[in-house]
Amino acid sequence: MLRSALRFAPSRLCNQVGAQRLAATSIRAGFPRFSKSLGSESRSYQTTTPLAHATPLTSEKYPQLKRNPSFKQLTTDDVQHFRTTLPPECLLYAASEQDVHELTGYNTDWMGKYRGQSRLVLRPKTTDQVSAILKYCHDQRLAVVPQGGNTGLVGGSVPVFDEVVVSLDKMNQVRSFDDLSGVLVCDAGCVLESLDNYVAEHNHMMPLDLGAKGSCHIGGNISTNAGGIRYLRYGSLHGSVLGLEVVLPNGTVLNNLSTLRKDSTGYDLKQLFIGAEGTLGIVTGVSITTPPRPVAQTVAVLGVETYEDVQRVFKLARQNLNEILSAYEFWDNPSMDMVLHHAGDNARHPLAQAYPFYVLVETSGFNKEHDDEKMGQFLEIAMEKGHVKDGVLSENASQMATFWYLRETISEAAVKTGPTYKYDVSIPVPQLYNLVLDTRERLTQAGLYKDDKSGYPVKKVTGYGHVGDGNLHLNVIAEEYTAEVSQALEPYVYEWVEGHRGSISAEHGLGLMKAPHLYHSKSEAMIQTMQSVKHMFDPHGIMNPYKFLP
């Protein structure tokens, strides 16, 4: 009965050491260790496309998409131009149809849902090279797809047809770091986890963290306005990014790598590129403020009976943990099942029995004694009120990592379970989980799904996400991507979100997937203004075409 860690009488809760000692017994020896926050080993998250070989061409899957004839077809002269202006290691070219498969990693998205047909991948090492590439493409009307770690989930980072891929993976240097202010300046191609490890040496941490951290680039994070698990505490990139270096489509370099916390000199242009998904230019450099790295962290995983209790526990967490609350995540039991199934020996259920919902609460602070006392009070109240049925509390970094593993591996586990329709939406917290319930019901009514049973086109309908931010990830895992399932889900999901005054994309962006559905979240006047902005920066429309805007 290891869950008794949280099942003691209130009078015992003052003894935090005891509470944690009990909790510790819930951790099975031999759990995988991850680099989560305080550890040092690398995480198992892979960006290798699990289903790459099975991915159909985007152009065949979506026949309504037509190549824009105003874009030039790549010629051998173009390739020769790049060969003469870039070092040989910065260019990958598939001369024949057969060679195209060598570029599969650049043409196919991580989900195995989208596959383009680019034959040219450029991997510049400097901002000047990026500038020269874009100027040439702009003059020649060659369409371009900027690519970071290619961990996006909406088809935004791979070509649709024959666009030239400009990968930032060779621009991965830290340019400067200031210990006093915590301001980091780096290339856009730096991997998020590498940056986090780098600033950790100086007792700071990146203000964002997400499952793909081992592969995603900071430039991609910025271009998709990534959220992640630290958002609750450290807020939006619109607040933490201090400056950007951006190459505009015509090759102009906008150098605005300010390291100042405050700057009110003119329109804050950098904001336009945060979340622009590479449609206005290529982010090449980043200045970002990094907060001091907490010295005390604790993670609890709690078993909860209802979504109403998930909300009640959230309210209690905010009231009792306040400034040390750094994450409040939830997932449902089908999500837990998938993770445990695919983790194999790497993980097991942290509680004695299954619950309909699980909540992960993390505190981060600088005084362990104070923080433990606050966590203890919070858990005591949540248990006493009956909103939490069972739980475990971490005692060290390794245990925290095992708890986070359960939450962070859901996305990967879903994709391994089957082709996954992923929806990342913002919804006012009280209605959040209703989308999962209503979607299940709709698919059941349509005869496409029944109670996680086999033999139906849809295997599972799961929900998880960042409750504290009103951000739900709805995953519908199918036997295969089919028009029948697609049509049952879309525009249904988007209409549902619109009807509940939500956003059809909370943190994954629009990409190819959601571009046509933007009107569910933005007015005609807003979209027209966006189109004017796009036209102003990119009059030939060469940057990441077919995506983002309808």
Collapsing DSSP states into helix, strand and coil, what is residue 349? coil
- Give the C-alpha separation, 427 to 424, whole Å: 10
Out of 286, 505, 543, 545, the residue judged to bind a copy of itself by CB under 8 A: 505
The interaxial angle of helices 333-343 and 397-408, nearest 10 deg, is: 110
For residues 95 and 119, give the distance between their C-alpha atoms in angstroms, rounded to a whole number: 7
Residue number, 459 or 520, with CB nearest to a copy of itself: 520
How distant, in Å, are the alpha carbons of 59, 67, 394, 409, 494 from that of 64?
8, 10, 51, 34, 20
Q: Could you tell me which stretch among 37-45, 192-200, 495-503, 538-546 binds a copy of itself (CB under 8 A)?
A: 495-503
Binding mask 290-329 for a copy of itself (x = CB under 8 A): --x----------------------x--xx--xxx-----
Q: Is 231 in the site for a copy of itself (CB under 8 A)?
A: yes
Return the closest-CA partner of residue 549 out of 530, 523, 535.
Answer: 530
Residue 263 is a binding residue for a copy of itself (CB under 8 A): yes
**Segment 506-525, which members bind a copy of itself (CB under 8 A)?**
506-510, 514, 518, 521-523, 525
Q: Least distance from C-beta 253 to a copy of itself, angstroms?
A: 7
- Strand order of the β-sheet with 164-167 is 91-93, 120-122, 164-167, 144-147
Strand 325-332 vs strand 174-178: parallel, antiparallel, or unpaired? Answer: unpaired
> Residue 491: is the preceding peptide bond cis (ω within 30°)?
yes
Q: Which of residues 187-226 bind a copy of itself (CB under 8 A)?
A: 224-225
176 near a copy of itself, rule: CB under 8 A: no
Give the C-alpha separation, 470 to 343, whole Å. 28
**Residues between 101 and 160 that touch a copy of itself (CB under 8 A):** none
Please list every residue from 375 through 434 that binds a copy of itself, using CB under 8 A: 426, 428-430
Binding residues for a copy of itself restricted to 69-88, rule: CB under 8 A = none
Which residue intervals of 242-367 are DSSP H helices? Answer: 270-273, 307-321, 333-343
* Shortest distance in whole angstroms from residue 312 CB to a copy of itself: 11
Contacting residue, 502, 540, 542, 544, with a copy of itself by CB under 8 A: 502
Closest distance to a copy of itself from the beta carbon of 60 (Å): 28
- Please, which of residues 444-483 interact with a copy of itself by CB under 8 A? 466, 469-471
**243 is a contact residue toward a copy of itself (CB under 8 A):** no
Nearest distance from C-beta of residue 259 to a copy of itself, angstroms: 7
Contact assessment for residue 137 and residue 540, using Cβ atoms and an 8 Å cutoff: no
CB of 178 or CB of 452, closer to a copy of itself: 178
Nearer to a copy of itself, 187 or 371 (CB): 371
Q: Least distance from C-beta 135 to a copy of itself, angstroms?
A: 13
Least Å distance between CB 240 and a copy of itself? Answer: 7
Contact positions with a copy of itself (CB under 8 A) in 346-375: 365-367, 370, 373-374
SS3 of 362, please?
strand
Interacting residues of 245 by C-beta distance below 8 A, sequence separation 6+: 127, 188, 253, 254, 255, 256, 257, 283, 284, 285, 286
State which residue, 48 or 265, has the beta carbon closest to a copy of itself: 265
CB nearer a copy of itself, residue 387 or residue 514: 514
Q: Residues near 262 by Cβ (< 8 Å), separated by ≥ 6?
A: none
| 291: CB partners within 8 A, 6+ apart | 182, 204, 205, 207, 234
Q: Which residues contact 457 (CB under 8 A, 6 or more apart)?
A: 448, 449, 478, 479, 480, 482, 484, 485
Give the count of residues interacting with a copy of itself (CB under 8 A): 82
Count of positions (residues) in the chain: 550
Q: Which of 22, 288, 360, 504 binds a copy of itself (CB under 8 A)?
A: 504
* Pick 30 or 266: Cβ nearer a copy of itself: 266
Which residue, 101 or 366, is less far from a copy of itself as judged by CB? 366
**Minimum separation from the CB atom of position 547 to a copy of itself (A):** 11
* Minimal distance, residue 368 CB to a copy of itself, in Å: 12
Q: Are strands 458-466 and 164-167 parallel, antiparallel or unpaired?
A: unpaired
Calpha distance 174→220 (Å, rounded): 16
